[in-house]
Structure 1
């Protein structure tokens, strides 16, 4: 992700982990009742 590259110096493994976490967080927010 864009922010991941800046904050973590482009570490591919960490970037993927944080990207996945961000996607899961967005999905969870969409699934939760408002």
Structure 2
């Protein structure tokens, strides 16, 4: 079985992007609710 590095890199990038997006939204909510 051969694992494609590009696929793994893409998945990792997507996960990081989602975490950053959710984290930013959470921080914004906390700042607004204050």
TM-score (norm 2): 0.62
- What do you get for the CA RMSD once the two structures are aligned? 1.7
Q: Of the two structures, which has the highest relative contact order with CA contacts closer than 8 Å and spacing of 6 or more?
A: 1
Q: How far does residue 10 in structure 1 lie from its aligned partner after superposition?
A: 2.6
Please identify runs of 4+ aligned residues in structure 1 that moved more than 4 A: none
Greater helix fraction, Structure 1 or Structure 2: 2
In our comparison, the structure showing a higher alpha carbon Rg is 2
Q: How many positions carry a matched residue from both structures?
A: 26
Gaps in structure 1 of 5+ consecutive residues: 1-8
